[in-house]
């Protein structure tokens, strides 16, 4: 057998060649083989589901055959029967398609290594260790998904790609040559030689702490050792003997909350998730007030950096405790966050992000030791911070792109992450644009007279009868509508305390659809004759949603706050559409916590987003966090997103001359000039509010005039 560069094959043949020949003869003489008892020297093996096939000498370990055919099959121990990652199922029966009659005895019997593995670690009865079972006769071998290196993980909606498991940290078990006075090479150099020889890993480096602990580990493991290699380049952890646990943490640092997901780097599974309030809130509720805090308080950046790092350590503690994992087993972590969160995490004063030209310190992805960020994971754990895109478009948006992959689709795709600022991405595989638009905090319930955070007691759903103008609603904490029996009892505990972000969108949209709001956003005083709920409020009117304690009503200023926010959002989107020269968007992803709760139809009724077939408007959930998880589980995703980020065209709304005009036109409901043909199919828009085709065409011309030729 020629030696191959495939990993870990040197010691995998556990039967001596003579025994194998005898075994092959026995198999050839069994009832399948029937009348002809030829000496079989080669056998055909077909691996499913890949269908890869080849002939190999009898006695070839199945793992070796698989690897030489390029079949995707996992191994940490390099074929030594320790890790159990390479399990396969031997097919039984006639496989007409492959022309093979496959039997379990077409591979060798269990050897001691395999028996020891099964008795010690357990294994399904139909499974074999492919590194121990050797080829005897033609056979079909199935590689279950769990045995594949590149398992599909981070399963998402059908329209978005799955993510292959390919973490930045890989474990490798090696047997290292003992030192010898005749060949006085260093222990490190012999380890590196073993890794090259047994795993094909070249040009590896090692962290200083590895070097400091290497000699003891090698001797404790009797020259058997498991190493963790980061991105195929650096040894970051060692364990005496065989070790196969490795974990990673994906962290999404929001202005309000910090969320962390602990992932098993071998399976890609999320083992535990946790979140907590961003402790920086005590320095300022929103981003700009935190930047102001730094400007006013020398060292304030350091305080906030320390605070968020402490929070991340607490989160790591929480998820580790929940999973029974030691914090030192976290070998890798990824981070997303807006530019201010990004800079504060890394320890960069965010002052420059507080004023024009909003210069980022860096817009590339950053790989560091966790210890450089005071994070108490494995002492050599590496962290990767996703790249920021622009001064207002952060690593969170990079995560959203990684999750929603607008750059991979042919469809003209809009991705919106709504918060105090909205990050907007528009484009497709040909071209991608990004900008940020200052929507203000109204969508989160701030600046709304009865607004509140999404919490029990907050109104989150509203319907208004267009005839009677009577509302019904649901509050967080109860599944009942306000006009259903038992609602009063169910909500007694929480009370009915205010309206959260999604509730505000709904109540305004319903008010508009019911004719209470005019196209220009005025609460129509003439409707007061139709319902006592429309009440004078100084020189304007208000709409009483709930006559309790507190009284919950929508006042004119609430409408104005939402109009300002939604006009800013729409104007930003429109700018990107102009730049791309598109009039129709094919799909829309609404990211972020807000996107998860909003009824996309109502968002469109208010004109937050342009017209689009409603069935193609999706909630993307916490797409930024998903992006962090993808970057954790697939190292190439890091390179991919950095490349995408470099290509993304960044638009700064503040210096775009058309922004103001778009903003003004977007103040109307749903819009002063744009048409919403797809929305009109789903809801009946008040007549005056849907500009005629002629109107639309004129507006189109106007836009064409404004665009550079």
Kindly state the smallest distance separating residue 223's Cβ from a second copy, in Å: 11
Sequence length of the chain is 709
Residues 286-325 that bind a second copy (CB under 8 A): none
586 or 642, CB closer to a second copy? 642
Assess contact for 531 and 469: CB atoms under 8 A: yes
HSE value, Cβ hemisphere, 13 Å, CA-based, for 570? 29
Q: Nearest 5°: phi and psi at 284? A: 160, 135
SS3 content of the chain, % helix, strand, coil (to 5): 35, 25, 40
Compute the least distance from the CB of residue 702 to a second copy, in Å: 24
d(CA 232, CA 213): 20
x/- letters, 319..358, toward a second copy (CB under 8 A): ---------------------------xxxx-xx---xxx
DSSP state of 183: B
How many degrees, rounded to 5, is the angle at CA 227 between CA 223 and CA 231?
Answer: 150
| Residue of the chain from 108, 363, 542, 690 that contacts a second copy (CB under 8 A) | 363
> Is 427 near a second copy (CB under 8 A)?
no
Provide the 3-class DSSP secondary structure of residue 439. coil
The token pair at 258 is 């910090």
**Cβ atoms < 10 Å from Cβ of 277:** 12
Among 139, 366, 500, 623, binds a second copy (CB under 8 A): 366
Say whether residue 660 binds a second copy (CB under 8 A).
no
Nearer to a second copy, 180 or 467 (CB): 180
361 near a second copy, judged by CB under 8 A: yes
Among 372, 660, 684, 697, binds a second copy (CB under 8 A): 372
From the CB of 583, what's the least distance to a second copy, in Å? 25
What DSSP string describes 223-260? TEEEEEEETTTEEEEEEES-----EEEEEEE-SSEEEE
Compare residues 181 and 687 and give the one whose CB is closer to a second copy. Answer: 181
Shortest approach of a second copy to residue 647 CB, angstroms?
13
Q: How many CB atoms lie within 10 A of CB 322?
A: 13
The structure tokens listed for 50 are 């890949």
Decide the pairing of beta strands 366-369 and 382-385. Answer: antiparallel
By CB under 8 A, is residue 233 in contact with a second copy? Answer: no
Query: H-helix or E-strand containing 694?
Result: helix 693-706
Looking at the Cβ atoms of 108 and 436, the one nearer to a second copy is 436
CA distance 709 to 702: 13
The answer to whether 650 contacts a second copy (rule: CB under 8 A) is yes
Q: Is 654 one of the binding residues for a second copy (CB under 8 A)?
A: yes
Residue pointed to by tokens 């600046």: 447
Per-residue x/- mask for a second copy, residues 179 to 208, rule CB under 8 A? xxxxxxxxxxx------------------x
Give the nearest distance from C-beta 425 to a second copy in angstroms: 15
Contact 689, 512 (CB under 8 A): yes
Segment 385-414, which members bind a second copy (CB under 8 A)? Answer: 388-391, 393
Q: Are 648 and 387 in contact (CB under 8 A)?
A: no
Radius of gyration of the chain (CA): 31
Pick from 175, 168, 292: nearest CA to 225: 175
Which of the ranges 176-184, 242-250, 573-581, 679-687 carries the binding residues for a second copy, by CB under 8 A?
176-184
* 684 is a site residue for a second copy (CB under 8 A): no
Interface stretch with a second copy, choices 102-110, 129-137, 550-558, 648-656 (CB under 8 A): 648-656
Instruction: Give the binding range for a second copy (CB under 8 A) out of 214-222, 492-500, 546-554, 610-618.
Output: 214-222
Cα of 91 vs its chain's centroid, Å: 36
> Using CB under 8 A as the criterion, which residues of the chain lie in contact with a second copy when the complex forms?
178-189, 208, 211-212, 214-216, 346-349, 351-352, 356-364, 366, 368, 372, 388-391, 393, 650, 652, 654-655
């Amino acid at each position: 057998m020629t030696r191959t560069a495939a990993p870990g094959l040197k010691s995998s043949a556990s039967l001596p060649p003579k025994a194998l020949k005898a075994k092959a003869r026995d198999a050839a003489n069994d009832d399948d083989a029937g009348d002809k008892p030829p000496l079989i020297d080669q056998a055909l093996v077909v691996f499913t589901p890949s269908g890869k096939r080849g002939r190999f000498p009898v006695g070839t370990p199945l793992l070796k055959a698989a690897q030489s055919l390029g079949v995707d099959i996992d191994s940490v121990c390099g074929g030594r029967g320790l890790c159990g990652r390479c399990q396969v199922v031997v097919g039984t029966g006639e496989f007409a398609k492959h022309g093979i009659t496959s039997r379990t005895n077409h591979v060798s019997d269990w050897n001691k290594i395999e028996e020891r593995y099964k008795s010690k670690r357990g294994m399904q009865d139909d499974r074999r260790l492919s590194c121990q079972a050797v080829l005897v006769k033609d056979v079909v071998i199935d590689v279950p998904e769990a045995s594949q290196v590149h398992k599909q993980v981070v399963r998402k909606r059908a329209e978005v790609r799955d993510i292959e498991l390919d973490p930045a940290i890989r474990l490798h078990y090696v047997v290292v040559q003992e030192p010898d006075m005749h060949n006085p090479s260093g222990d490190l150099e012999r380890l590196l030689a073993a890794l090259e020889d047994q795993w094909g890993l070249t040009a590896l480096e090692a962290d200083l702490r590895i070097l400091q602990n290497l000699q003891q580990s090698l001797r404790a493991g009797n020259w058997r050792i498991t190493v963790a290699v980061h991105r195929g380049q650096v040894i970051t952890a060692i364990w005496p003997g065989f070790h196969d646990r490795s974990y990673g943490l994906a962290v999404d640092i929001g202005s309000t909350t910090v969320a962390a997901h602990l992932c098993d780097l071998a399976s890609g599974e999320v083992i535990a998730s946790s979140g907590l309030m961003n402790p920086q809130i005590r320095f300022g509720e929103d981003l700009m007030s935190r930047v102001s805090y730094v400007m006013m308080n020398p060292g304030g950046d350091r305080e906030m950096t320390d605070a968020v790092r402490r929070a991340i350590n607490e989160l790591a503690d929480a998820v580790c405790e929940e999973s029974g994992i030691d914090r030192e087993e976290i070998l890798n972590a990824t981070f997303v966050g807006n530019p201010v969160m990004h800079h504060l995490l890394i320890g960069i004063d965010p002052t420059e992000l507080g004023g024009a030209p909003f210069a980022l310190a860096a817009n590339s992805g950053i790989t560091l030791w966790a210890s450089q960020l005071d994070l108490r994971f494995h002492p050599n754990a590496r962290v990767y911070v996703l790249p920021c895109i622009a001064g207002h478009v952060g690593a969170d948006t990079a995560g959203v792109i990684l999750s929603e992959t607008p750059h991979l689709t042919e469809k003209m795709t809009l991705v919106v992450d709504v918060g105090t600022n909205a990050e907007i991405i528009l484009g497709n595989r040909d071209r991608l644009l990004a900008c940020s638009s200052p929507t203000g905090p109204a969508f989160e319930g701030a600046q709304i007279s009865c607004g509140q955070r999404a919490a029990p007691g907050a109104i989150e759903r509203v319907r208004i009868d267009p005839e009677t103008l009577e509302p019904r609603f649901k509050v967080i904490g109860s599944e009942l509508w306000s006009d259903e029996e038992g609602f009063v009892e169910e909500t007694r505990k929480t009370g009915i305390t205010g309206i959260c972000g999604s509730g505000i969108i709904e109540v305004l949209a319903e008010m508009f659809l019911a004719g209470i709001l005019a196209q220009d956003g005025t609460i129509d005083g003439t409707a007061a004759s139709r319902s006592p709920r429309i009440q004078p409020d100084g020189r304007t009117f208000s709409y009483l949603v709930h006559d309790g304690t507190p009284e919950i009503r929508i006042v004119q200023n609430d409408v104005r706050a939402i109009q300002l926010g939604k006009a800013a959002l729409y104007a930003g989107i429109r700018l990107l559409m102009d730049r791309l020269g598109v009039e129709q968007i094919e799909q829309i992803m609404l990211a972020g916590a807000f996107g998860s709760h909003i009824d996309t139809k109502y968002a469109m009724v208010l004109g937050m987003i342009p017209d689009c077939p409603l069935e193609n408007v999706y909630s993307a959930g916490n797409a930024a966090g998903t992006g962090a998880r993808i970057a954790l589980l697939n190292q190439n995703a890091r390179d991919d997103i950095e490349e995408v980020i470099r290509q993304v065209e960044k638009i700064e709304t503040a210096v775009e001359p058309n922004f103001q005009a778009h903003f003004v036109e977007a103040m109307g409901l749903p819009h002063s000039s744009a048409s919403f043909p797809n929305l009109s199919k789903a809801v009946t828009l008040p007549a005056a509010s849907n500009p005629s085709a002629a109107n639309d065409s004129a507006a189109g011309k106007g836009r064409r005039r404004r665009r550079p030729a």
